[in-house]
Structure 1
Amino acid sequence: MSTEIKSAASCSAPISGAPQALVWQVHPRDNVLVALQNLDAGQQLPEPWQHIRLPDAVQAGHKLALTALAEGDKVLKYGYAIGVLTADVAAGGHIHSHNLKTALDGELDYSYQGLQASPLSYPADLPTHFKGYRRGNGQVGTRNELWILNTVGCVNQAASRIAKAAQQYAEQQQLPNIDGVFAYTHPFGCSQLGDDLSHTRNILAGLAQNPNAGAVLIIGLGCENNQLTTLLMGLEHLDQSRIRAFNAQQVTDEDEEGLAAAQQLLQLMSQDERSECPISALSFGMKCGGSDGFSGLTANPLVGQIADLASAAGAKVILTETPEMFGAEQVLMARARTEQVFDGIVQLVNDFKQYFIANNQPVYENPSPGNKAGGLTTLEEKSLGAIQKGGSAIVEQVIDYGQQAKVPGLTLLQGPGNDAVSSTALTAAGATLILFTTGRGTPLGFPVPTVKIASNSALAARKPTWIDYDAGAMLQPGQSVTEFAKEFFRYLVAVASGERTRNEVYLNKEIAIWKNGVTL
Structure 2
Amino acid sequence: MSIAHPTVLHATTPRIFRIAAQDDVAVALEPLTAGEQVHVDGASVILRDDVPAGHKFALRDLTQGAPVLRYRARIGLATRAIATGEHVHSHNLATALAGEADYSFTAAAAAAPVQVSARTFRGFVRPDGSVGTRNELWILPTVGCVGRLGERLAQRGNAMIAAMPQAQGRIDGVHAFNHPFGCSQLGADLDGTAAVIASLALNPNAGGVLLLGLGCESNQLDALLTRIPESHRARLQVLRAQSESDEFAAGEALMAQLLADMTQDQRTDVPLSALRLGVKCGGSDALSGLTANPLIGRMADAVTGAGGAAILTEIPEIFGAETLLMQRATSKDVFDKLTALVNSFKRYFLDHGEPVSENPSPGNIAGGITTLEEKSLGAVQKGGLAPVADVISYGQRISEAGLTVLEAPGNDAVSTTALAAAGATITLFSTGRGTPLGSPVPTMKIASNSALATRKPGWIDFDAGAALSAGMDETADALLDRIVEIASGAPTCNERNDERAIGIWKRGVTL
TM-score tier (shorter): over 0.9
Give the root-mean-square deviation of aligned CA atoms.
1.2
For residue 25 of structure 1, what is the amino acid of its counterpart?
Answer: R
Alignment of 1:340-379 (within 5 A): 340-379=333-372
Where does residue 446 of structure 2 map in the other structure? 453
CA shift in 2, pair 1:237/1:412, >3 Å: farther
Native 8 Å contact 1:120 1:393 kept in 2: no
- 1:116 to partner: Cα distance: 3.1
Using the alignment, how far apart are the partners of 2:56 and 2:110 within structure 1? 30
Task: Give the corresponding residue for 2:492.
Answer: 501
In the TM superposition, 1:12-161 aligns within 5 A as 16-18=9-11, 20-46=13-39, 48-123=41-116, 126-161=117-152
Separation in 1, partners of 2:471, 2:453 = 20
For residue 164 of structure 1, give the secondary structure of its aligned residue in structure 2. helix
Percent identity reads 53
Q: Return the letter of the residue paired with 1:343.
A: D
- Measure, in 1, the Cα distance between the counterparts of 2:285 and 2:473: 23
Return the offset for 1:127.
Answer: 3.4
Does residue 1:408 correspond to 2:401, yes or no?
Answer: yes
User: Which amino acid in the other structure matches residue 170 of structure 1?
Assistant: I
For residues 123 and 155 of structure 2, the distance between their equivalents in structure 1, rounded to whole angstroms, comes to 25
Displacement of 1:203 in angstroms is 0.5
Deviation sequence 1:38-78 (CA, Å, 0-9, x none) = 10111110353552110100011111111111111110000
Q: Is the 8 A contact 2:118 2:271 kept in 1?
A: no
Distance 2:280 2:397 in 1: 16
Distance change in 2, residues 1:372/1:47 (3 Å): closer
TM-score (norm 1): 0.95
1:45 is paired with a residue whose SS is: strand
Please state how far the C-alpha of 1:243 moved relative to its aligned partner.
0.6
Counterpart position of 1:519? 510
The amino acid across from 1:144 in the alignment is N
- The answer to whether residue 272 in structure 2 is matched with residue 269 in structure 1 is no
**Alpha carbons 1:127, 1:490 under 8 Å: kept:** no
Find 1:250's aligned residue among 243, 246, 253: 243
Matched, 1:167 2:158: yes
Structure of greater relative contact order (alpha carbons < 8 Å, 6+ residues apart): 1
Matching residue's letter, 2:28: A
CA distance in structure 2 between the aligned counterparts of 1:148 and 1:16, rounded to whole angstroms: 44
Name the structure 2 match of 1:10: none
Q: Which amino acid aligns with 1:216?
A: V
Taking the TM superposition and a 5 Å limit, the aligned residue runs for 1:418-433 are 418-433=411-426
The Cα shift of 1:483 comes to: 2.6
- Paired with 2:138 and 2:465, the residues of 1 have a C-alpha distance of 35
TM-score normalised over the length of structure 2: 0.96
User: Which residue, 460, 485, 493 being the options, matches 2:476?
Assistant: 485
C-alpha offsets along residues 99-128 of structure 1, whole Å, 9 cap, x if unaligned?
A: 0011111111111111135143234xx433
Amino acid at match of 1:58: V
Q: Where in structure 1 are there 5+ consecutive unaligned residues? A: 1-14
SS of the residue corresponding to residue 52 of structure 1 reads strand
Structure 2: give runs of 5+ residues left out of the alignment. 1-7
SS of structure 1 residue aligned to 2:83:
coil
Q: What are the superposed Cα offsets for residues 174-222 of structure 1, whole Å, 9 maximum, x if unpaired?
A: 3231101000111111111011111110100111000000000011011
Distance 1:160 1:337 in 2: 43
Query: 1:188 maps to which residue?
Result: 181
2:5 corresponds in structure 1 to none
SS of the residue 2:38 aligns to? coil
Q: Where does structure 1 differ by over 6 angstroms across 4 or more consecutive aligned residues?
A: none
- Structure 1 residue 208 and structure 2 residue 192: aligned? no
Q: 2:9 and 2:406 mapped to 1: Cα distance?
A: 32
Counterpart-to-counterpart distance in 2, 1:449 and 1:298: 21
Give the partner amino acid of 2:107. G
Q: Partner residue of 1:231?
A: 224
- Name the stretch that deviates more: 411-420 or 40-49: 40-49
